[in-house]
Amino acid sequence: MYNNKAILITGGTGSFGRSYARFLLENFTPKKVIIFSRDELKQFRMQEEFRMHKNIRFFLGDVRDLARLQRAFEGVDIVVHAAALKQVPALEYNPFEAVQTNIVGSQNVITAALDQGVEKVLLISSDKAAHPVNLYGATKMCAERIFISSNVYAGGSKATRFSVVRYGNVLGSRGSIVETILKKEKGEPLNLTHPDMTRFWITLDQCFALVTYALTSMVGGETFIPKVPSMKIVDLFRALAPGKKVEIAGIRRTVVDLGKYFVILPDILMGGNRYTKYRKVRKTKGQESMYTSDTNKEWLDRDALMELLSTNV
């Protein structure tokens, strides 16, 4: 799969991209590995780190720039699309930035790959794309959908193929919760949204095995999901920081019950006193915030439905 191939990694200076590049160069003989990213300082440091490898190239650019991607993809056989904005709180404050990079950027990767005749393109996605509850997850879900649907544009045996891999937290990755816990100062409490919160966990070696399997097996349109262990975040805290105080921050979203209506207040409360009117209103907790049609307490029977139809249709 990798030998004598030109492989380009978008977001190649990130935790996954840097480690994946090393995996490729130390275990295979690719024609070249191209690191595509927008951070010149990270590229400079990575060039120093990889100076012994002669078949690695660095291409400064942003996935938001289609023309730059077109140039970078010339002669490329495989693209692994790992570029993304992924810090959840930052994206809630800057939502359209997430859209431009994670969604529009992914569409640009697709367009450039089709135009340049890339053989295979694989999106690195997240478990947050399944039933997304935040903007990051929603943008990754959109990226997955456009990647999968892009296979309709590819016809013939030599057409570009697009597939997806989806996984959870990577042990040891930069900015991960493990890194956050270990960097906490003595006496500084750990914040937890909910005591029952869980996450999937995967190692870098498992990531490389998943990506390799997907690139080897894909025919276009698949979403590959590894079978990996889960762990409660509270148990992770106890293992890595025993005895440290844990503060339950609660779910970010605030829902108030106004009797006949629910009101969802924004995650990011703007300045001023515009929300003081809700201070004394009862706020829902736990399962009360789950307002879904299958758990609703008010149901229509046949007679009630027919009466509504007779007066509203």
pLDDT tens sequence across 72-82? 999 999 999 99
Residue 257, pLDDT score: 86
- Residue 128: active-site member: yes
Residue 265 has phi, psi (to 5 degrees) of -85, 150
Residue ranges of domains in the chain: 6-168+202-229, 254-312
State the average pLDDT over residues 245-257.
75
Question: pTM, whole model, 2 decimals?
Answer: 0.88
SS3 content of the chain, % helix, strand, coil (to 5): 40, 20, 40
Burial class (CB in 10 A: 0-12, 13-18, 19+), 209: middle
Res 145: pLDDT:
98
282 has a pLDDT exceeding 80 = no
Average pLDDT, the chain: 89
pLDDT in tens, 9-66: 999 999 899 999 999 999 999 999 999 999 999 999 999 999 999 999 999 999 999 9
From the candidates 32, 86, 120, 128, give the one annotated as an active-site residue: 128
CA 2 distance to own-chain centroid: 25
pLDDT band at 133 (very low <50, low <70, confident <90, very high): confident
Please tell me the least confidently modeled range out of 33-37, 99-103, 114-118, 242-246.
242-246
**Residue 59: strand, helix, or coil:** strand
Over range 135-157, report the average pLDDT. 90
Please state which CATH number belongs to domain 6-168+202-229. Answer: 3.40.50.720
176 has a pLDDT exceeding 60: yes
Q: Buried b / exposed e across 218-256, counting CB within 10 Å, b at 16+?
A: bebbbbbbbebeeeebbebbeeebeeeeeeeeeeeebbb
Q: How far apart are CA 60 and CA 272, in angstroms?
A: 42
Residue 181 pLDDT class (50, 70, 90 cuts): confident
